[in-house]
């Protein structure tokens, strides 16, 4: 009888433990189900949020593109270029002494900078920069300068056939070759050689023959005097 009682107590205790385990398992299963349901509910909400975020991004990008296009299409206003601060030689020389060559280089740079600024301002105002073309000296002045250089500065002088031809053609004309330049021209003619010398003699002889014995006016008398001096020098 005692053994049956003990077996009964053991059976009842094992049943109780099994029941407790089942309850725990049920609770675990319920909690898992609850979590699954919660996640299933959260998934569509996240999807909706992601879709809204994507739509917001698209709208923002289209707005940005529209703004960029408007900026590109809008005409840009021409503003004056930023003027550089005026630099003077005194400011640049602070703390150091510049040589004459360095000063010249600095002055050239400052001139270029000023001209660039002036051109930019004129362009901004819609004005055109007129180029000043320096007046070229006349052929007569160039020939006389050539003769003066030959007489005064032989190291810098260079032979120029065009200038020599002009001088030989106009040497009897006192208006083109003035009286103060003619003695220098005689010295130049004295050194002629070859065909240039022969042609000069022929021109002088032809002039003497054409003028004849006279009478001559003042201009003809002057031409005759020059022709005789040339023949006396070269013959």
Q: What is the pLDDT of residue 1?
A: 47
Domain ranges of the chain: 1-70, 99-133, 139-234
Give the mean pLDDT of 63-75. Answer: 52
Predicted confidence (pLDDT) at residue 162 exceeds the cutoff of 90: yes
What is the Cα gyration radius of the chain? 56
Q: What is the pLDDT of residue 151?
A: 95
d(CA 132, CA 137): 15
Structure-block tokens of residue 6: 């003990």
pTM exceeds 0.75: no
- The C-alpha angle 76, 80, 81, rounded to 5 degrees, equals 105
pLDDT digits (tens, 9 = 90+) for 92-145: 444 456 677 777 778 888 888 888 888 888 878 776 655 656 567 788 899 999
d(CA 129, CA 123): 8
Distance, C-alpha 118 to centroid of its chain: 14
Instruction: Please give the DSSP secondary-structure letter assigned to residue 235.
Output: -
Band the pLDDT of 23: cuts 50, 70, 90: confident
Predicted confidence (pLDDT) at residue 87 exceeds the cutoff of 90: no
Q: What is the distance between the terminal CA atoms of the chain, rounded to a whole angstrom?
A: 180
CA quadruple 135, 139, 144, 149: dihedral, nearest 10: 70
Give the mean pLDDT of 152-164. Answer: 94
Residues with Cβ < 8 Å from 234, sequence gap 6 or more?
Answer: 189, 190, 192, 197, 200, 201, 204
**What b/e sequence results for 137-157 when a residue is b if at least 16 CB atoms lie within 10 Å of its CB, and e otherwise?**
eeebeebbebbebbeeeeeee
d(CA 88, CA 65): 48
Q: What is the pLDDT of residue 64?
A: 54
């Amino acid at each position: 009888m005692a053994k049956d009682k003990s077996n009964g107590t053991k059976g009842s205790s094992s049943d109780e433990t099994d029941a407790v385990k089942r309850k725990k398992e049920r609770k675990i299963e319920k909690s898992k189900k609850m979590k699954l349901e919660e996640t299933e509910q959260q998934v569509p909400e996240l999807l909706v949020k992601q879709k809204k975020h994507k739509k917001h991004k698209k709208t923002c990008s289209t707005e940005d593109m529209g703004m960029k296009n408007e900026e590109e299409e809008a005409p840009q206003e021409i503003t004056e270029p930023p003027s550089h601060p005026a630099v003077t030689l005194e400011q640049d020389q602070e703390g150091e002494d510049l040589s004459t060559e360095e000063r010249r280089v600095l002055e050239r740079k400052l001139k270029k900078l000023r001209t660039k600024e002036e051109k930019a301002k004129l362009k901004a105002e819609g004005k055109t920069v007129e180029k000043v073309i320096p007046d070229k000296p006349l052929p007569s002045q160039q020939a006389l300068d050539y003769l003066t250089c030959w007489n005064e500065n032989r190291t810098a002088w260079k032979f120029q056939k065009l200038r020599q031809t002009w001088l030989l053609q106009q040497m009897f004309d006192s208006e083109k070759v003035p009286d103060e330049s003619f003695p220098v021209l005689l010295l130049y003619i004295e050194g002629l050689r070859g065909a240039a010398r022969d042609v000069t003699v022929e021109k002088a002889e032809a002039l003497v023959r054409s003028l004849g014995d006279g009478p001559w006016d003042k201009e003809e008398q002057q031409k005759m005097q020059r022709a005789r001096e040339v023949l006396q020098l070269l013959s």
